[in-house]
Amino acid sequence: MMKLAVALMIAASVLVSYTTHIVLASDEANGIIHVAGKVLCQDCSQGWNEWIHGSDPIKGSKVSLTCLDRRSRVIYYTSDTTDETGQFDLTVKRYLYGKKLDTKLCSARLVSSPDYACNILTDFGRGRSGLKLTNPTSIYRDVVKFVLQPFYFTTPMCDKPDTNSDSDDDAEQSHY
């Protein structure tokens, strides 16, 4: 009788363990990754405090998320347009093509601004070069969320011109 009770307890624990594993696997398979943030306009003609803290949100800006595989091939791309408060929220499934997405190989970046007065990409907040997803802001059940620092556009007046290295080389050569 005692052996039967022990055998039933073992069978029950294996069954509970197995069904728990199935539930956890289905939660992970349905997991979602959110990448959220804000797009703002910085005006360099303002004073320092206004330039940093007085930025205006840009409605209709486009932000993208690109995820690569271990061989640096694009496996996922999506984009979102900001709302009237400049907010965006990109979503991607945690599992793509049967494999778990490595978020460290994903980056978010600015794409475009509809505001002709504020449409120059800046790298303030890494919006132009792209911001890698390193540490999630929150993880709750099957949802992972990354809240990024703001991305910024600026006005054409604030655009920093590219320096031409060829003309600098010519100037150095003519000096000698």
**Using one digit for the tens of pLDDT, what is the confidence trace for 36-76?**
999 999 887 777 777 667 789 999 999 999 999 999 999 99
Give pLDDT tens digits for 15-33.
Answer: 444 433 333 333 344 699 9
pLDDT band at 163 (very low <50, low <70, confident <90, very high): low
Cα separations in angstroms, 144 against 78, 94, 101, 163: 17, 9, 12, 41
Amino acid 10: pLDDT: 58
Q: Answer yes or no: pTM beyond 0.85.
A: no
Q: Which two tokens stand for residue 158?
A: 């604030």
Q: Is residue 119's pLDDT more than 90?
A: yes
Is 33 within 8 Å of 92 (Cβ atoms)?
yes
pLDDT band at 152 (very low <50, low <70, confident <90, very high): very high
Amino acid 167: pLDDT: 47
**What distance, in Å, lies between the first and last C-alpha atoms of the chain?**
102
Average confidence (pLDDT) over 2-8: 56
Q: Determine whether 113 is exposed, middle or buried from the number of CB atoms within 10 Å of its CB (0-12, 13-18, 19+).
A: buried
Higher local confidence (pLDDT), 23 or 136: 136
Q: Is residue 104's pLDDT more than 70?
A: yes
Which domains are delineated in the chain?
Answer: 31-158 (2.60.40.10)
Q: What span, in angstroms and rounded, lies between the C-alpha atoms of 65 and 74?
A: 11
Q: Is residue 126's pLDDT more than 70?
A: yes
Is 18 within 8 Å of 26 (Cβ atoms)?
no
